[in-house]
Amino acid sequence: MRVVLTVVLLIGSQLALARGAVHEYQLDNGMKLIVKEDHRAPVVVTQVWYKVGASYEHDGITGISHVLEHMMFKGTKNHAAGEFSRIIAENGGSENAFTSRR
């Protein structure tokens, strides 16, 4: 019984940590920051969401957001293909991109 109680308390404390408060800020340039601390693991996760995509595109340009997402990994005049991914990986990170209806 004592073991079961210990397990329940440990799981409950981890869930309480995961539910941490969410803080919202807005920068002078209009960018909205949402911060949620979770100290269960020594990692940092960042996400950048742009309000673009099918729900923001007008007739005639639908799909452009998805194309631009893919182009990000292809390189530019100043950055070779794969350089974005290499820089992220050298700093211990991994990148991904996706489009969504949200």
Burial of 81-102, coded b for 16+ CB within 10 Å and e otherwise, reads: eeebeeeeeeeeeeeeeebeee
Number of helical (H) and strand (E) elements in the chain, helices listed first: 3, 2
Q: Which of 24, 57, 69, 90 is catalytic?
A: 69
Contacts of 44 (CB under 8 A, 6+ apart): none
Whether 24 is a known active-site residue: answer no
Active-site amino acid positions: 69
